[in-house]
Amino acid sequence: MNIKVQVCGLVLVTIIELLYRGQGKNVLGSQRQFARMLHTSFLLLILDIFTLVLINRFEGRYNIVIYEICKLYLVSLVTMCYSSCAYIVEEISNSSTSLKRFITATNILRIICSIFIMIVPIHIHNGENSYTYGPSINMAYVICGYIITVNFYILFRYKRKIDKRRWGASLIWMMAWIVSAVIQFINNELLVVGFAAALGSSVLYMKMENPESYHDRDTGLLNDYSFKLYVKELEKKQINCRILVVVFNILDLGLSSEQEQDITRNFANYLQNSEGIVTFRCQNREFIIVSQDEQKLVNLSNLILWKIKEPWEIQGKSYYTDCYLFEIDSTHLDNHNDLDIISVFVTEKMEEAKGNLVYMDSDWISRHRRKIEIEKLISEAIDDNRILVYYQPIYSVEKKRYTSAEALVRIIDKEDKIIPPGEFIPIAEDNESIITLGEIVFRKTCQMIVRERLFEKGYEYIEINLSVVQSTKADFADKIISIIKQTGVDPKMINLEITETAAIRSKEVLLKNMRKLIDYGITFSLDDFGTGYSNLNYIMELPVDIVKFDKNMTDSYFESDRNKMVMSTAINMIKAMGMKIVVEGVERKEQLEAVCEEGVHYIQGFYFSRPLPEKDFVAGAINSNVASTGV
C-alpha cells in the first residue's frame, strides 16, 4: 500500500484550510464556494486514504462496507468537479439566464450520476498497489470528464466576464486535473487524482483566495478590493443595501505611527462588533460599512457620533478623535463602476459631514454622472476635431460699425448637437482640459484672421478668452507666441480676455506673462467686470486696455438709481484712466441708447448679434443690421 501522495495532498489541504479559516467570515460568494471546495477536497482525500486502508487490511471480511465507501469516494470526486464549476461561474452566473439553467442542469445530472455510482457494481484489485475498477468507476470518469469539459467551455466562452486572475488559476487547476485523470486512467495503480484536487486548491489559494488579497493587514478588516467585489455581487443578485462611509480623524498631533495604528485598530474593532453589517477599510482612516438593514446603519452612526465625544483610552492615555459620516443607498449606484463616485462625494461633502451624517441623494448622483458624460464628450471632441469657434461681433459706438469680435468655444457631440458652454466650461476648468480647448480656439482664431484678412474688412482685433487655469501656467505666454509665429497672424489683431479670478489665483505669474505678451504686441481686456470680486483695484494693477462690463452689471443699471449711479461712476473713472469700455448683454434698444449716453466705446449683445459660426461671421451676414440701429 502506497498512500504517500494522498497524505501529502491531505496535509496541503489541511494547511490551506487552517490559514483560510483564520481570515474571518466569508462575505463573498467566491469565498464561500472556495471554502466548500476545500471541505470537499479534504473529504475526498480522507475517503481516498480510508478506502486504500480498508482494501489492504480488511478485504474479504467487510466487502459490502468497503464497496460503499469506495463509491462514496467516487461521489466526492464528482462533487469536487462540480464545486470547481460552481466556483468558476460564481461571479458570472447572474449575467446569463441560459448559463444559470445550464449549470442547474449540470448539477441535476451530477446528482443522478452520483446515485447510479452508488448503485452499479465496483470491483477491487488488491495487489502490491490497490485500485478499483468497474462500471461505477467508468461512470465517475464520464461525469467528471463532462464537468471538466463544461468548465473549459465556460472559461473560454465567458473569458471577458471572468476576473483575469481567477481565469488563469482555474485554467491551471483544470489542466492539473486532466493530466492526473489521464495518468490514472492509463495506469490505475497511480492514484493521483486526489492530490490534483489539493494542488488545484493551493493554486487558487495563492492566486485568488489568499487572505491578503481581501483583507487589510493592520486591522484585519476586509479591504477596498473586497468592497468592490461585494457590492458588485449584491448588484448582480439585485440586493439593495445601505452604505455608511466613516472618515476617522485623530485630533492629537505629534503621535507616533504605532500610537496612531493602535487608535485606528481600536476604532476598527468598535465598528466590526455590530451584528448584521460588513465592515471594510478602504483607505488609511476611511471605513465603509454595508448592511441590508438601514436601521442598523442609523443606530451605528448614532453610536459613532456618541462615541467620538469621549476619548479613547489606550495604554493609560486619552486620545480624542472626530469623524465624518456619509450614507449612500446602493439603488443610486445602479452600475458597480459608480463606486468611484463615493470618494468624490466624500471629498466634496467633507466639511458638511463633520460630526454629522450626510446623505447622497439622486440629484447629486445625476449631476456627477452628467459631469462624467461631459468630461468624456470633451475628450472625444478634442480627439475627433469637434471643437468649433463662434464669433460674436462687437459694435463700435464711435465708428458706427463692427470693429472687433469675441471668439467663443463650442463643442458638438456625435449627433452634431451643441453642448451648452455653461455646462462644459466649468468642468473643463476643473480637469484642466480647458488648456487644450483654449489652445485649439486660439490657433483656429489666428488661422481665421490670416485666412480671411479680417483687417481688410474693418476688424481691428479679435478677443480671445484666457481661462483661469491657463493664466496660472508659467509657460502660457510662450505657447501663445509660438502659435502666433506658426500661423503668421499680426499680434496686434489679438486681444486676450482675462478675469479678476485669474489675478487672484496667480497674480505674479499672470503679470509676468502679460508683460511679455504686451511687449510682443498683444493687448488685454479685463472680462466680467461687475461680478465676483470685482473692484477698481484690479483695473489699476493689471495692464489692460479694455474693461468689459458683465451682462449682470448691465441689467442692474436699469434696476435702480443707485445701481445706475455706481455704473456711471465706474465708467467715468475707467475712461479717465485712458481705458476703453465694452458693455456686454445689450439686448434691447432702450439699453443701447442708455449705455451710449454714458459714453461707452463698444457694445456687445444680442441686440446686434448672437455668437455666429465662423462661416456666417466671415460672410458678414449681419452687416445689414448695422445701418438700421440708428445709433
DSSP class per residue in 95-109: G-HHHHHHHHHHHHH
Return the pLDDT at 355. Answer: 78
Residue 624 has pLDDT above 50, yes or no: no
Give residue 470's identity as a one-letter amino acid code. Answer: Q
Q: How many CB atoms lie within 10 A of CB 488?
A: 10
Residue limits of CATH 3.20.20.450 in the chain: 385-625
123 vs 55: CA distance, rounded Å: 11
608 vs 597: CA distance, rounded Å: 18
630 compared with 547, residue with greater pLDDT: 547
| Nearest Cα residue to 402 out of 615, 585, 623 | 623
405 compared with 251, residue with greater pLDDT: 405
553 vs 51: CA distance, rounded Å: 94
Residue limits of CATH 3.30.70.270 in the chain: 215-361
Superfamily in which the 4-211 domain is placed by CATH: Rhodopsin 7-helix transmembrane proteins (1.20.1070.10)
570 vs 557: CA distance, rounded Å: 12
In the numeric block, the cell 475498477 is attached to 133
Contact between 287 and 248 under an 8 Å Cβ cutoff? The reply is yes
Pairing of strands 317-319, 312-314: antiparallel
Question: How many Å is the maximal CA-CA distance in the chain?
Answer: 122
Q: How confident is the model at residue 41 (pLDDT cuts 50, 70, 90)?
A: confident
Return the pLDDT at 631. Answer: 54
Which of 9-18, 166-175, 262-271, 374-383 is modeled with the greatest confidence? 374-383
Element (H, E) at 167: helix 164-186
- At residue 213's C-alpha, the angle toward residues 212 and 218, to 5°, is 40
Residue limits of CATH 1.20.1070.10 in the chain: 4-211
The least confident of 49-58, 289-298, 533-542 is: 533-542
Mean per-residue pLDDT of the chain = 83
C-alpha cell at 170: 482555474
Give residue 506's identity as a one-letter amino acid code. Answer: S
* DSSP structure class, residue 417: P
* DSSP structure class, residue 542: S
72 vs 43: CA distance, rounded Å: 10
* DSSP structure class, residue 629: S
436 vs 446: CA distance, rounded Å: 15
Q: What is the percent of the chain where pLDDT is above 90?
A: 29
Q: What are phi and psi of 369, to 5 degrees?
A: -65, -40
584 vs 604: CA distance, rounded Å: 5
The least confident of 277-286, 325-334, 445-454, 597-606 is: 325-334
Instruction: Give, in order, the Cα–Cα distances in Å from 120 to each of 79, 142, 144, 331.
Output: 18, 14, 17, 53
Contact between 358 and 352 under an 8 Å Cβ cutoff? The reply is yes
Mean pLDDT value across residues 605-618? 93
300 vs 278: CA distance, rounded Å: 12
546 vs 403: CA distance, rounded Å: 14
Contact between 544 and 526 under an 8 Å Cβ cutoff? The reply is yes
Contact between 471 and 505 under an 8 Å Cβ cutoff? The reply is yes
What's the pTM? 0.65
Element (H, E) at 521: none
Mean pLDDT value across residues 419-443? 93
600 vs 596: CA distance, rounded Å: 6
Residue 9 has pLDDT above 80, yes or no: no
Residue 506 has pLDDT above 90, yes or no: no
Mean pLDDT value across residues 565-573? 90
Alpha-helix runs per DSSP H in 320-433: 340-348, 362-383, 421-431
Return the pLDDT at 391. Answer: 96
Pairing of strands 612-613, 387-396: antiparallel
For the domain bounded by 385-625, which CATH number is listed? 3.20.20.450
Domain 215-361, architecture per CATH: 2-Layer Sandwich (3.30)
Mean pLDDT value across residues 217-236? 81
Mean pLDDT value across residues 418-422? 91
Return the pLDDT at 425. Answer: 93
Q: How confident is the model at residue 585 (pLDDT cuts 50, 70, 90)?
A: very high
264 vs 272: CA distance, rounded Å: 12
In the numeric block, the cell 476703453 is attached to 580
Alpha-helix runs per DSSP H in 494-597: 500-505, 507-520, 536-541, 551-557, 561-576, 589-597
Return the pLDDT at 58. Answer: 65
Q: How confident is the model at residue 1 (pLDDT cuts 50, 70, 90)?
A: very low
